[in-house]
Structure 1
C-alpha cells in the first residue's frame, strides 16, 4: 500500500500492465481528494512520500493557472535527475519515467459564484486531482529498504558537526560509518543515514 491511509482516495481510473516486474507492479491511475488548497495538497504529498518511501521532485510549475485550476505542479521521481547517464560511479539516476501530476480545481469563480463545470466530482467537493504514473525502473523503498533515499535531516546535522570539527568529506563519512557500525553491529546500506562520498562533497 503506497497511499496514506489517513485520506479517502476516490479512484477515477486505473490501468495495469498485468505484469509484476522486479521493481513491483506497473500501473497508472487517477484519483480525487477533498482538498481545496495548495497547502493541503502538499501536506498529502508529504504523507504520500512517507507512506510509499518514494521521493518526488518538481519538473514543471504553473504560476498562472487560470479560472478553472487553482494550483498545479508536475513531479518526477528523484531517480530521474535529467542528467545524462554516462558516469561510471554509482548514481541514483536511472532516467525513471514515473510521474505524479497534482491539481487543485476551483470550486468557485470570482465574487464567490459557484463553478458551473460539468465535472460532477467538484459538486462532491473532490477538487484535488492526482494523476499517478507508477512505472519505476528501480527498486523502491516500499519493497526494499536499501534503495536510494534522501539523506535524513539528522544525518545532515551530523555531517555539518563533523565538518565544523575539521573533518574532510572523506573522513567525516568514515566517522559516520564507524558510528553506525558501532550502533548497529554492521555496515549500513541505507542511503538516508549513510550517503556516499560524492554527497559529502556537495
Structure 2
C-alpha cells in the first residue's frame, strides 16, 4: 500500500534543513556507532514541487550533504515497524567516484543496509562519467537453487531485490563549456542516485545485523586487544563485556551487530592477529594480514 506517490516536476523547490541532533551528540561522545568525521551534523535538502520527503527517510540519509529529491514512493513494510520500503531519485552535489564511495559508506552506516557491487557500467565519458549498480548483500546471486541446501548454518540469501544505481553526469567539457543537456539539475547536482529500498527482510534485527561489515573502529579495538596478549576468542568476549557495561538493556542488539562486535571467525580468519613472541629481552608484534589492521614490527628492549 502506497503512503504517497510524488511526481517528477522540478519547479518551485522547497528547502528543508535537516539537523540530526542525535548524531551530533553521538559524535561528541565515544561510540562505535557514531558518524564518521567526514560527515557534518547538517544536511540541506531541496525537493521538487509536489514531492514529500517523510521524516523516516530523512533519518536514514547521511548528514553533511546537499540533496535534491526528485521522486519518492513509500510503501508499507511487512517486515518490521522499524523498517521502511520506498523508492527514490536523489540528486547530490558530488563530482567524483571517491566522494560517491564516501556517501555510500555513510549511507550503509546510518541505514544498516549493506550493498555489494552488481555491475560496473562502461562509460565513454561523453555524457556519463561514472555509473555503478549495487545489490543488497542478502541477494548473493547463487548459481543454483540447491547451492546452500546442505549448509549447516542458515544462508543470508533471501533473494532481496533492493538495488541502488549511482551515476555521475558530465556537465563541463574541454574549454570549460557547459553541457547542453536538458537536465535542469546540472551543474549543481551532477550525481543521480536511483534507490530501491524495498527489502524483503528485516534490517534492524539480530539476524540481519550479524552480516554487516566489520567497521574500522571495531578492527582498531580488536588490534588493541591483540597487542595486550588477548587471543581471538578472549578479545571478542572482552569487546562484548564492554558493550554490556556501556549499553545495558540494549546490549543484545549491539552485540549482534557485526559492525560493532566482530564474530570470532573474523578474528581467527584475518591472519596472525598480531602474534606476540616473548624471547626474554624483546617482544615482537608480527605484521597482521587483517585488511586495514597491519602493524609495524615493534621491539621492546628490556636491557
Aligned mates of 2:120, 2:218 — CA distance in 1:
30
Alignment-derived partner of residue 19 in structure 1: 76
Q: Does 1:191 align with 2:258?
A: yes
Aligned mates of 2:64, 2:206 — CA distance in 1:
23
Aligned mates of 1:183, 1:33 — CA distance in 2:
36
Aligned residues: 197
Q: Tell me if the contact between 1:106 and 1:115 (Cα under 8 Å) persists in the aligned partners.
A: yes
> Which segments of 5 or more consecutive residues in structure 2 lack a partner in the other structure?
1-58, 270-303
Deviations 1:127-160 (A, max 9, x none): 110000001122224xx47723222324334545
Q: Tell me if the contact between 2:125 and 2:170 (Cα under 8 Å) persists in the aligned partners.
A: no
Alignment-derived partner of residue 138 in structure 1: 201
Instruction: Determine helix, strand or coil for the equivalent of 1:122.
Output: coil
Q: Give the number of the structure whose alpha-carbon radius of gyration is greater.
A: 2
Deviations 1:8-28 (A, max 9, x none): 322222233x32312422221
Q: Tell me if the contact between 1:162 and 1:172 (Cα under 8 Å) persists in the aligned partners.
A: yes
For CA contacts below 8 A with separation 6 or more, give which structure has more relative contact order. Answer: 1
Alignment-derived partner of residue 181 in structure 2: 117
Aligned mates of 1:76, 1:112 — CA distance in 2:
36
> Which segments of 5 or more consecutive residues in structure 1 lack a partner in the other structure?
none
Q: Tell me if the contact between 2:214 and 2:260 (Cα under 8 Å) persists in the aligned partners.
A: yes
Alignment-derived partner of residue 79 in structure 1: 138
TM-score normalised per structure 2: 0.54
Instruction: Determine helix, strand or coil for the equivalent of 2:256.
Output: coil
Aligned mates of 2:87, 2:77 — CA distance in 1:
14
